[in-house]
Structure 1
Amino acid sequence: MDGLTDYEAGYLVGGAPRAALVVLVTLVTDGRLEVAYNRQRVKVARTGSKYPIEAAALELVPDSGLGVAEFLADLAASPAVADLEKALRAKGQLRFLRWFSPTYRELTERPGTGVRRVAVLGVPGIADDRLRDVLGQPRPPMPRINPMLPVRDNTFDGSIAPSEGTWTAGT
């Protein structure tokens, strides 16, 4: 396809979010990122990258890990993905009406296999069932607790201190 990488094909078909998805699937497939499926978080398993966008993606993840949705959003907004856009414009592939591009039409008619299929089809193109479920049905974000507001305990009247008449051992 005119020398396009999978990341460039993803950007051409689906923009920055699709390119970020392709990076995630590539890194998980290669074993460089581990996914905690129940918590929907990614963590770096090993470093090393062939493309600058892979290096940028691995740098985004702290030691404690990062939520999958947050990882995809941060990567899509990163300068490395903006460089993909510049590379596609330099190759003459990114046009205002991209669906008239012969490369775009060829990609959508024959999506291919593996990561190229993810680049063209998005989440439905992911072969790994568990990863497809995580990305297709994300969990709602965890609530953030404001440390400045007191947390009520579970006493009957909802006060912070134990209420009168509450039995405690040793008194």
Structure 2
Amino acid sequence: MENSEDKTVRHIVNYLTNYDWLYQYSIFVDVNDLDVEEAKNVAKNWLLKFDDKRFRDYLRKKKGNEDVAMMYVIRKHLHRNHPSKKSFQQFYITIYSSGEIQGIDHIQSYYSDFPLNTLDRKVTDKKIESTCSALKNQKLHDLSLLGGKKRYTIINKAKLRLIEAP
């Protein structure tokens, strides 16, 4: 019998592999100007105060995003770039999209008490494959600290475009 974690992985992998994603955006709190103990705390806890539902509604309703499908995923990684040279866990948000997302660069003051960085890049088949492989082969990160926030959400689901078979 499939457990909820396996089901979640299967759903995310299905969305990544069967639908057309053109861009990937990563949003994370900038902790490099903080001392290491404060940086660890902020990196781990900033999403507790981040109003993800309000942010998802903003993305959905922002002019220019009406025809853009998005998959919003909460993730965690090892932050290795702190000036202290110490590594620690950091939560971040990844958004896969079927087009350019409008307004993503204006989220800072509206959605977070902490400085945020946003990175974007074109999605490649190789990146999708490596992400899916990691999802299938590694245990999902524990998000229980985040008080029931959803691991992933599809925004503008009706705008998803299936990848056509060759």
Do both proteins adopt the same fold according to a TM-score greater than 0.5, normalized to the shorter chain?
no
TM-score with structure 2 setting the length: 0.26
TM-score of the two chains, using structure 1 as the length reference: 0.25
Question: Highest Rg: 1 or 2?
Answer: 1
Q: Which has the higher contact order (CA 8 A, sep 6+)?
A: 2
